[in-house]
Structure 1
Amino acid sequence: MKFFSYSIIAYTLFLYSCSSGNGKSKDTPSNNAPKKEPPVTVEAIIATEVDFTSPLEVSGSLQSQDFVEIRPEASGKIVALSIPEGNFVGQGTVLGRLNSDDLQAQLKKNQAQLVLAKKNEERLKKLLEVGGVNQQEYDQVLSQVQSLQADIEFVQAQVRKTVITAPFSGKLGLRQVSLGAYVSPNNIIVTLQNTNIQVDFNVPEQYIQKIKLGEKVSLKVEGTENLLNAQIIAIEPQISATTRNLKVRARVEGSTEGVLGGMFTRVFVGTAQTQKAILVPSNAIIPETRGKKVAIIRSGKAIFTDVETGARKESKVQILKGLKAGDTVATTGILFLKPTSQVIVKKVIQ
């Protein structure tokens, strides 16, 4: 009897194990499970401290001390044009004239009326002295004289607006209009700039102690071999809340031959000092609205870390905070990196 019971139990266990083997395991992944993204392949550098010897280097833009787009003050047809393109002209030089025939005619008419009004005023003044007219009659004639004088002054001002002159001494640009053209204050006749060159540049807020009025800076202009000297002449009274930079202006000293407004230049501020610093390629920096980041590779994943940058030297940027020696910093493939993605470093750049 016992043998029979044991047989039934063994047979039941056998059937249960067979049915469990044919069913789906709870641990089997579903076909609807999300697929894993392939790892991102990057190149990287190992952050190391090196001797960094350089003055503060920032980017700047050259410009003329005075620059203006000369436009006519009135609308009209150009009847005279004398613009020596690319040449130096003195302040007040006449560059062109607009048609003013109608204004000249109005001016002559007002002048003729003024002559007659003055004669009437003189005659009534004598009569007033002997009681021949009352004060009111004399005042009316005197008011007419004053009104005509004001009209003449107004027309003369309109006539002056038809003459286009150089507002200061400087070098002319290229002529933008032709003789006989109808122009308005919206039209540029020519540009004018003086030969004094200055440079505007921005300094990070951590270096503002290096900036003082009267201090000298050096310039390396693209396309030139020699360094130029400049003197700081103005400093913006506040730091930009967006860029955390201070805007500075310096005037270039000495000869500026071959240097034009709008050219790019590198500005060297202060004296060279040697210090230990971590440098990374400029393409490793990720600019953001409120700061800058780098991608550090740890345990096969990217960690985006805030950094504070310092001076620049060629294609390298000094890191003041956020990195330590030994960190692996991604230099390529940064746009494809995510905090959760796997990363493979295919090459470490020395």
Structure 2
Amino acid sequence: MSSKNIPAIIACACLAMACGKKKQPLKASANQVPVVDVIVARYSNVINTIEANGTIIANEYVELKPEVSGRLIYLNVPEGKHVEVGTVIARVNDADLQATLNKTKVQLELAQKTEERLRKLLDINGVNQADYDAALNTLNGYKADISYTQALIDKTVIRAPFSGTVGLRQVSPGAFVTSASVIATMQQLNQLKIDFTIPEQYGNLVHTGGTVNIETDGSKGVRRKATITAIEPQANAVTRNLKVRAVISAREDTNPGAFAKVYVGEGQSAKAILIPTNAIIPDDKNKQVVLVHDGKAVFTSIQTGLRQSTNVAVINGMKEGDTLVVTGVLFAQPNAAVKVRQVKQLSQLVDSSATATGGN
């Protein structure tokens, strides 16, 4: 062996020894048992309060529109004032219809005399039955024409369909209007409705005759009770939400169209297993948590219900007494051994989370 090759051989040997030393920690890391913290699942009281967004609407609402086209010859829109049902709000020009009605009445009068004369002749066989039937048919035709014309005249009059408050006037006297023209709006404000939606999974919290609490911007933090009057029987196919309607008494600080925060199930409580939200492993199809059974990690699918700020209620997949991994979740492997470092309380996790948030 040449003396020139000796340094190269020594360098290769040292490199091989160094590579061998680097591989040993990786092998040891693979066999290392992950250390986790756990909590023991316990039932606790959960306040079933669901917050929903709602809209306040009038008890009755209508846009006053004419049924026929024409020029307005009368307009009585007391803006912002209360009117009784049947009050005439507007009239459309009906001069042509009135003329037609008068003409038909004259023709009807002549037809009545003809029918009476032929009926007397028919009694003494002075006219055949066909002539009398024709006269009677003409008489009935004029009566039908009068009824039809009168119906058209009635359509030219716009009346208040219910007792309520008239909104702002949208047209001026003498304007030409069509069936699409809005003369004004009218609302019944003696009581108000609130429409809101909630997820269908909380449908058991609402029922007809039950109550919810509402809060509006004008109420300045004061909540009022509203009574549920109806629930849409079919859930929305897209959002899977249920539409609910409740009623409240009218007040000056509450206007139709206003936003309302609705609190459903406030004051009611139920027992449920609460777990930290960060202990849940989201999946494409379901949610999973890691339980410890006989020193090994067991991945279990769960169904969740009511959410709080840091916790969530488990409605299926866990039972009281289960040991749940709350820290080190990402290091656990299915059916692999884990080492429990500490058994914590749920309140400790909440306090530490609040401290971390405050520190940020």
- Aligned partners of 1:166, 1:119: CA distance in 2, in Å? 41
**Paired residue for 2:242?**
246
Cα distance change on mapping 1:279 and 1:217 into 2, 3 Å: farther
Q: Which residue of 2 aligns with 1:70?
A: 64
Instruction: Give the corresponding residue for 1:187.
Output: 181
Q: 1:324 to 1:137 in 2, by over 3 A?
A: farther
Q: Does 1:177 align with 2:157?
A: no
Q: Does 1:229 align with 2:238?
A: no
Structure 1 segment 258-297 matched on structure 2, within 5 A? 258-270=253-265, 271-273=267-269
Query: Deviation digits for residues 42-65 of structure 1, max 9, x if unmatched?
Result: xxxxxxx99975622211111112
Relative distance call for 1:177 and 1:265 in structure 2 (3 A) is same
Distance 1:204 1:140, change over 3 A: same
2:116 is equivalent to residue 122 of structure 1:
yes
Matches within 5 A, 1:140-219: 140-195=134-189, 196-219=191-214
SS at match of 1:197: strand
Q: Which SS does the other structure have where 1:61 is aligned?
A: strand
Q: Provide, for residues 274-323 of structure 1, a one-character-per-residue CA deviation record: whole Å limited to 9, x for no partner.
A: 8885788xxxxxxxxx9999xxxxxxxxxxxx9967457xxx58645799
Identity of aligned residues (%): 40
What residue number does 1:106 align with?
A: 100
Deviation at 1:324? 8.2
1:4-43 maps to which residues of 2 (within 5 A)?
A: none
Unaligned runs of 5+ in 2: 5-40, 278-283, 288-301, 318-323, 330-355
**Which amino acid is 2:242 matched to?**
L
3-state SS of paired residue (2:218) = coil
SS at match of 1:131: coil
Confirm or deny: 8 A CA contact 1:79 1:99 kept in the other structure.
Answer: yes
| Residues 59 and 278 of structure 1: CA distance in aligned 2, closer, same or farther (over 3 Å) | farther
Structure 1 pair 112–311 and aligned structure 2 pair: CA distance change class (3 A) = farther
1:267 Cα deviation from its structure 2 partner: 1.0
* 1:208 positional shift: 1.2
Q: Distance in 1 between matches of 2:83 and 2:285?
A: 48
Please give the alpha-carbon distance, in whole angstroms, between the structure 1 residues aligned to 2:104 and 2:285: 68
Query: Could you tell me whether the CA contact under 8 Å between 1:51 and 1:277 is conserved in 2?
Result: no
**In the superposition, relative to structure 1, how do residues 150 and 262 fare at CA in structure 2: closer, same or farther (>3 Å)?**
same
Greater mean deviation of Cα atoms: 111-120 or 316-325: 316-325
- The residue type equivalent to 1:96 in the other structure is A
Q: Which amino acid aligns with 1:242?
A: V
Pairwise CA distance, 1:66: 1.1
Cα distance in 2 for partners of 1:274, 1:236 equals: 25
Say what the alpha-carbon RMSD is for the aligned residues: 3.6
User: How much has 1:100 moved relative to structure 2?
Assistant: 0.5
Task: Go from structure 1 to structure 2 and tell me whether the alpha carbon gap of 1:320 and 1:51 turns closer, same or farther (over 3 Å shift).
Answer: closer
Q: What whole-Å deviation, never above 9, does each CA across 1:215-238 have from its counterpart, x for those lacking one?
A: 111111122122221111101112
SS of residue matched to 2:262? strand
SS in 1 for 2:193: strand
CA distance in 1, matches of 2:64, 2:252: 24
Per the alignment, do residues 137 and 145 of structure 1 end up closer, same or farther by CA in structure 2, a change over 3 Å counting? Answer: same
TM-score (norm 2): 0.65
Distance 2:50 2:259 in 1: 17
Counterpart AA for 2:102: K
1:172-206 Cα deviation digits (max 9, x unpaired): 11111110100000111111110120111112122
For residue 147 of structure 1, what is the amino acid of its counterpart?
A: G
Give the Cα separation in 2 of the matches to 1:76 and 1:212: 48
Q: Which deviates further from its counterpart, 316-325 or 217-226?
A: 316-325
Show CA shifts across 1:57-92 (max 9, x none). 211111112111110010000011010011111111
> Across the two proteins, how many residue pairs are aligned to each other?
267
TM-score by length of 1: 0.67
How many angstroms does 1:245 deviate by?
Answer: 1.4
1:307-346 aligned within 5 A:
310=306, 319-320=312-313, 325=326
Is 1:95 the counterpart of 2:89? The answer is yes
Kept in 2, the 8 Å contact 1:73–1:184? The answer is: yes
Question: What residue in structure 1 maps to residue 17 of structure 2?
Answer: none
Aligned residue in 2 for 1:39: none
Gaps of 5+ in 1: 1-5, 11-48, 281-289, 294-305, 329-347
Q: Which amino acid aligns with 1:202?
A: T
Say whether the 8 Å CA contact 1:309–1:318 is kept in structure 2: no
Please state how far the C-alpha of 1:213 moved relative to its aligned partner.
1.2
Distance of 1:177 and 1:317 partners within structure 2: 56
Work out whether residues 234 and 249 of structure 1, in 8 Å CA contact, stay in contact via their aligned partners in 2: yes
Say if 1:197 and 1:256, in contact at 8 Å, map to a contact too. no
